[in-house]
Chains A and B, each alone.
Chain A
Amino acid sequence: MDREKYFLSTPLMKEEWFLSLQRLIESKYAPKWNSIIGDRITKEDYLFVKEYEKELYEDRKFHSQEPNSKIIEWIRKHKFSSYYFYERLKNISLEREFLKIRPMTREDLQNRITEILPTNTDFTRMVVNPTSGTTGKPILAPNHPRAIGCYVPLIEYSLKKHGVDVPHKSNITSGIQICHQNETIVYATTHSLAEGSLFAKINLKEKEWQNPSDINTFLFESDPIFLSGDPYSFESAMKTGINFKPKALHSTALELEDNLRDQLALYFQCPIVNFYSLNETGPIAYSCPIDPDWMHILPNDIHMEILNEEGEPDELGEIVITGGRNPFLPLLRYKTGDWGRIKYGNCLCGEASPKVQLLKGRKPIFFTDTKGRRINPVDISRILRRQTNVLRHQFIQKKNGSYIVNLSTYLPPGKSWGEELKILFQNLLGESADILFDFDLPNDGKKITVFINENIDLKS
Chain B
Amino acid sequence: MKEIRYYVKRIAEFPKFQTDPNTLDLLALWNDALIRFTNEINNSKHLSRLKSSLPSDKNLQGLHTVIIYIISDKEWEKDGFPTTRLMEFLITKLPELAKSVSPYTEWIHDNERSEELIRALFSALELLPDQEDKKYFEDRLRSIDTIERIKILEESKKAQERAKEILERMKRAEEEEAASKYNRE
Contacts and interface: CB of A to CB of B under 8 A. Distances in A.
Contacts of A199: 180, 182
Contacts of B163: 114
Interface string A301-345: 000000000000000000000000000000000000000000000
A388 to B, nearest CB: 5
Interface in B135-176: 146, 149-150, 152-154, 156-157, 162-163, 165-171, 173-175
Nearest to B100: A80
Nearest to B153: A83
B179 A142 contact: no
B79 interface: no
Contacts of B149: 80-81
B178 A119 contact: no
Nearest to B173: A128
B177 interface: yes
Contact of B105 (A40, A93, A149, A388): A93
B184 interface: yes
Interface residues of A, number: 64
A126 B178 CA distance: 9
B184 A177 contact: yes
A230 interface: yes
Nearest to B168: A388
B164 to A, nearest CB: 9
Contacts of A126: 169-170, 173, 177
B2 interface: no
A14 interface: no
A115 B154 CA distance: 10
B179 A83 contact: no
A225 to B, nearest CB: 11
B70 to A, nearest CB: 20
A385 B179 contact: no
Contacts of A250: 182-183
Nearest to A185: B175
A38 B184 contact: no
B181 interface: yes
Contact of B182 (A81, A90, A114, A177): A177
A191 B103 contact: no
B143 to A, nearest CB: 11
B72 to A, nearest CB: 24
B185 A189 contact: no
Contacts of B132: none
Contacts of A187: 180
A152 interface: yes
A142 B180 contact: no
Contact of A127 (B146, B173, B185): B173
B110 interface: yes
B3 interface: no
Contacts of A175: 182
B58 to A, nearest CB: 11
Contacts of B150: 80, 86
A397 interface: no
A130 interface: yes
Contacts of B146: 80
Nearest to B104: A93
| Interface of B, helix, strand, loop or mixed by DSSP | helix
Contact of A132 (B110, B162, B165, B184): B184
B51 interface: no
Nearest to B144: A80
Interface in A1-60: 35, 37-40
Contacts of A386: 171, 174
Contacts of B110: 76, 79
Contacts of A123: 165-166, 169
Interface centre among A123, A152, A278, A385 (most CB of B within 10 A): A123
A38 B180 contact: yes
B106 interface: yes
A72 B175 CA distance: 34
B182 A127 contact: no
Interface in A73-131: 76, 79-83, 86, 90-95, 113-115, 117, 119, 123, 126-131
B9 interface: no
B117 to A, nearest CB: 14
B184 A179 contact: yes
B16 to A, nearest CB: 11
Contacts of A79: 110
Contacts of A228: 182-184
A218 interface: no
Interface string A141-169: 01101001101100100000000000000
Contacts of A277: 183, 185
B153 A140 contact: no
B181 A130 contact: no
Nearest to B113: A76
Given A83-B153, A83-B156, A119-B152, A37 B178 contact: yes
Given A128-B170, A149-B179, 6 more contacts: A35-B175, A114-B167, A123-B166, A148-B180, A177-B184, A201-B180
Closest 5 CB pairs of A and B: A114-B163, A128-B173, A80-B149, A228-B183, A128-B174
7 contacts: A38-B179, A76-B112, A91-B102, A95-B109, A119-B152, A151-B181, A230-B184
